[in-house]
């Protein structure tokens, strides 16, 4: 395995259409060391996603900046040059796609996975942000997107557990769960009595 392929494996990049063209390093204004991996994505669509026509021609390239997970606390970015295509039939454009990142997102699936793994260890959002060199709001957004919770439960469990915890910087949140099954009832963004009372009075008799 070549050195470039080893770099892809370190970040769990398994897309065979990505080819590394170079590596560079720099430092931002805050003194953060940034490692950049320059790569090209070559993936020709079979047909146009808009009209299903096969009359596609190359139409320049688009440079995407994708945030990768961290290896030693530094910031790693993938500068991915994507081939663009123009459809002769509908005159709309499309681009090469990859599985390492969701559509119109800048954070790779790898860094999303790292956020969730650290959050499961009860590490605060602020600390996770410092470890992965991302913003605290980005950490909270990733966690919220991964939490699939039903809008409301039909009835309250007979035995409840209440707790408050530091969720982000100095902010405290409220958590309520079934003390028997440990199934979550609600997670509120603050611990104010008004917010807690309003929630239970508006959802249950």
Instruction: Give the model confidence (pLDDT) of 28-60 as tens digits.
Output: 777 778 888 899 988 777 888 889 888 888 888
5-18 pLDDT, tens per residue? 677 777 778 788 88
Which sequence spans correspond to the domains of the chain? Answer: 3-143, 149-203
Q: Give mean pLDDT, residues 195-204.
A: 86
Per-residue pLDDT at 163:
92
150-171 pLDDT, tens per residue? 555 678 889 999 999 887 777 8
pLDDT at 128 over 50: yes
Closest listed residue to residue 100, CA positions, set 117, 82, 121: 82
| Locus of tokens 């499961």 | 120
Closest listed residue to residue 115, CA positions, set 168, 65, 78: 168
63-103 pLDDT, tens per residue? 888 888 777 667 888 899 988 899 988 999 888 888 888 87
Per-residue pLDDT at 73:
65
Decide: 174 and 191 in contact? Cβ < 8 Å: yes
Largest CA distance in the chain: 65
Per-residue pLDDT at 1:
44
Tell me, rounded to whole angstroms, the distance of Cα 116 from its chain centroid: 9
Q: Is the pTM of this model over 0.85?
A: no
Q: Which secondary structure element, helix H or strand E, spans residue 54, and what is its range? A: none
Per-residue pLDDT at 160:
92
């Amino acid at each position: 395995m070549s050195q470039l392929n080893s770099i892809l494996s370190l970040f769990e990049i398994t897309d065979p259409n990505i080819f590394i063209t170079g590596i560079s390093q720099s430092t931002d204004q805050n003194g953060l060391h940034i490692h950049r991996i320059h790569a090209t994505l070559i993936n020709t669509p079979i047909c146009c996603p808009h009209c299903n026509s096969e009359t596609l021609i190359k139409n320049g390239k688009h440079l995407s900046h994708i945030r990768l997970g961290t290896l030693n606390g530094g910031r790693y970015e993938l500068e991915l040059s994507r081939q663009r295509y123009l459809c002769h039939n509908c005159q709309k454009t499309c681009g090469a796609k990859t599985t390492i990142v969701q559509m119109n997102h800048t954070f790779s699936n790898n860094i999303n996975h790292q956020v969730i793994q650290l959050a499961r260890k009860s590490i605060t959002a602020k600390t996770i942000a410092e470890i992965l060199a991302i913003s605290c709001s980005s950490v909270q957004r990733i966690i919220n997107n991964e939490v699939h919770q039903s809008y409301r439960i039909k009835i309250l469990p007979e035995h409840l557990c209440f707790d408050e915890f530091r969720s982000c910087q100095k902010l405290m949140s409220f958590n309520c769960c079934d003390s028997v099954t440990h199934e979550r009832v609600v997670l509120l963004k603050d611990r104010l009595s008004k917010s807690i009372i309003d929630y239970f009075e508006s959802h249950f008799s």
